[in-house]
């Protein structure tokens, strides 16, 4: 089946690719369509546009669905749709994926919605969705011959790279802003490897990572020089939602935006499932969520512009604090094509939303999850999102990583002496 540029039946160039990454056959430019053989490339040599993986899938429909359902209880059940080598499930890795899709009836009632689900990716091994993308990037890095796994990160990716490299038995090098949450710095350091705190924001260290990658030919920066493979890991979020709903697509999804790649790839995952005959085609709307302190995509959407203008981040949602999001223009394309929207919310709204999700559903989200819930509430208030349509929101990280965000607004109901009288006098019965 070849219904999109990424679902090709022919190799990229003369001869078969020499690198075996399963169904991946080439890298294709998102802007001009120029194709190159599989390799550690991330920018088009013709127009400098971003490269993404092009596939030749071996099967479709019922045969493919049966193979997926018989697969392992993690993202490698989706190996027939990912740029990973044969036998990936048996290699040393931390096996993320197949996280819970939780029906959030209490939160739905609070917000006046009919059917709401939370895809809770805090259940991954390092408690964020980044384990998915790193697992795919690590598989590609091995196949491409790299010996070091590296990244610039706002925190969750640092955790995931350090853990995956430790499990794989290779060196990791992680660059993070020096003002990152202490929980994310400590949990990264616990896995060993090299952790470098840089006096700058994410955009500063991302530029530094690009310079280092150009000098160190055996270092795989997962979100720089192996970015095309890395980004494909986010498709598994869309795949899993569809399978967990009984092989169908939801009507509306709300997704946090950092670089924007996750939103774009979830949409790509939905599209592939339809094209491969794994789900019926049905319209869905994609909504993006940003913190007001770093909302360049929301600003472009509201202004009706195609250009995303970089900003200097200033928000408690540090995992979303990318002022120059690489996939920002593609987010706008997806959102506008599907009839969705991009909204932004204040830091106070984020804190309220973290507590709302915890109080109603027992899910403790990090600040990015708070951004998503707060945006959902704002989209309902503005009428952009239909409360009667089935909706899935994505919690991408664990609240234990961003405790400082709510530390000043929660605490004990009372502090008493260890006596029944004190308990009663405090009005707790």
Instruction: State how far the Cα of 4 lies from the Cα of 10, in Å rounded to an integer.
Output: 13
pTM value is: 0.93
What mean pLDDT, rounded, does the chain reach?
A: 94
Share of the chain above pLDDT 70, in %: 96
Share of the chain above pLDDT 90, in %: 93
In DSSP terms, 28 is beta-bridged to 35, 52
- The pLDDT assigned to 11 comes to 37
pLDDT band with cut points at 50, 70 and 90 for residue 9: very low
- The pLDDT assigned to 5 comes to 33
- The pLDDT assigned to 16 comes to 45
Residues 328, 297: contact at Cβ < 8 Å? yes
- The pLDDT assigned to 7 comes to 38
169-178: average pLDDT: 96
The residue ranges of DSSP E strands in 199-354, in sequence order, are 219-221, 252-256, 285-291, 342-345
149-156: average pLDDT: 95
Instruction: State how far the Cα of 276 lies from the Cα of 322, in Å rounded to an integer.
Output: 34
Taking alpha carbons only, the member of 163, 20, 151 closest to residue 82 is: 20
Instruction: State how far the Cα of 122 lies from the Cα of 108, in Å rounded to an integer.
Output: 20
- The pLDDT assigned to 59 comes to 85
Dump pLDDT digits (tens) for 137-148. 999 999 999 999
pLDDT tops 70 at residue 3: no
Percent helix, strand and coil across the chain, each to the nearest 5: 40, 15, 40
Instruction: State how far the Cα of 325 lies from the Cα of 376, in Å rounded to an integer.
Output: 21
pLDDT band with cut points at 50, 70 and 90 for residue 90: very high
pLDDT band with cut points at 50, 70 and 90 for residue 420: very high
pLDDT tops 50 at residue 4: no
208-223: average pLDDT: 95
- The pLDDT assigned to 72 comes to 97
In a 10 Å sphere around its CB, with 0-12 CB exposed, 13-18 middle and 19+ buried, how is residue 75 labelled? buried
Q: Looking up tokens 């720089």, which residue turns up? A: 224
Dump pLDDT digits (tens) for 187-200. 999 999 999 999 99
Q: Looking up tokens 């053989």, which residue turns up? A: 37
Dump pLDDT digits (tens) for 368-416. 999 999 999 999 999 999 999 999 999 999 999 999 999 999 999 999 9
Instruction: State how far the Cα of 27 lies from the Cα of 50, in Å rounded to an integer.
Output: 10
pLDDT band with cut points at 50, 70 and 90 for residue 12: very low
Residues 203, 211: contact at Cβ < 8 Å? no
pLDDT band with cut points at 50, 70 and 90 for residue 1: very low
- The pLDDT assigned to 290 comes to 98
Taking alpha carbons only, the member of 319, 314, 307, 393 closest to residue 356 is: 393
- The pLDDT assigned to 314 comes to 96
Dump pLDDT digits (tens) for 273-307. 999 999 999 999 999 999 999 999 999 999 999 99
Dump pLDDT digits (tens) for 14-67. 444 478 999 999 999 999 999 999 999 999 999 999 999 999 998 888 999 999
Instruction: State how far the Cα of 230 lies from the Cα of 379, in Å rounded to an integer.
Output: 30
Instruction: State how far the Cα of 225 lies from the Cα of 365, in Å rounded to an integer.
Output: 30
Dump pLDDT digits (tens) for 330-340. 999 999 999 99
H or E segment to which residue 157 belongs: helix 156-168
């Amino acid at each position: 089946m070849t219904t999109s540029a990424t679902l090709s039946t022919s190799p990229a160039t003369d001869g078969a690719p020499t690198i075996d990454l399963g169904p991946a056959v080439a890298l294709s430019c998102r802007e001009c369509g120029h194709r190159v053989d599989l390799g550690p490339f991330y920018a088009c040599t013709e127009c400098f546009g971003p490269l993404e993986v092009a596939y030749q899938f071996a099967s479709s429909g019922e045969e493919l669905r049966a193979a997926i359902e018989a697969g392992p209880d993690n993202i490698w059940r989706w190996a027939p749709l990912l740029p990973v080598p044969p036998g990936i499930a048996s290699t040393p890795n931390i096996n993320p994926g197949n996280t819970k899709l939780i029906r959030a009836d209490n939160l739905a009632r609070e917000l006046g919605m009919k059917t709401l689900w939370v895809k809770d990716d805090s259940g991954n091994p390092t408690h964020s969705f980044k384990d998915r993308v790193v697992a795919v990037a690590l598989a590609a890095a091995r196949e491409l011959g790299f010996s070091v796994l590296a990244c610039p990160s706002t925190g969750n990716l640092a955790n995931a790279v350090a853990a995956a490299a430790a499990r794989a038995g290779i060196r990791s090098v992680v660059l993070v802003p020096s003002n990152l949450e202490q929980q994310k710095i400590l949990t990264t350091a616990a896995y060993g490897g090299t952790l470098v705190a840089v006096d700058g924001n994410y955009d500063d260290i991302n530029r530094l990572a690009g310079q280092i990658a150009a000098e160190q030919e055996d270092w795989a920066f997962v979100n720089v020089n192996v970015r095309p493979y890395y980004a494909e890991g986010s498709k598994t979020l869309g795949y899993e939602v569809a399978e967990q709903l009984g092989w169908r697509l939801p009507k509306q999804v709300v997704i946090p935006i950092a670089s924007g790649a996750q939103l774009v790839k979830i949409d790509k995952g939905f599209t592939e499932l339809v094209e491969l005959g794994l789900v019926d085609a049905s319209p869905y709307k994609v909504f993006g969520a940003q913190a007001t302190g770093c909302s360049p995509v929301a600003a472009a959407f509201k202004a009706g512009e195609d250009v995303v203008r970089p900003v200097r981040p200033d928000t408690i949602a540090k995992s979303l604090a990318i002022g120059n999001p690489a996939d920002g223009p593609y987010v706008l394309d997806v959102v506008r094509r599907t009839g969705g929207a991009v909204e932004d919310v204040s830091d106070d709204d984020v804190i309220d939303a973290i507590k709302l999700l915890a109080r109603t559903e027992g899910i403790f989200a990090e600040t990015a999850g708070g951004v998503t819930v707060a945006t959902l509430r704002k989209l309902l208030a503005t009428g952009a999102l239909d409360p009667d349509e089935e909706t899935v929101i994505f919690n991408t990280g664990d609240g234990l990583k961003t405790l400082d965000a709510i530390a000043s607004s929660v605490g004990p109901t009372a502090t008493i002496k260890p006596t029944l009288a004190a308990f009663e006098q405090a009005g707790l019965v």
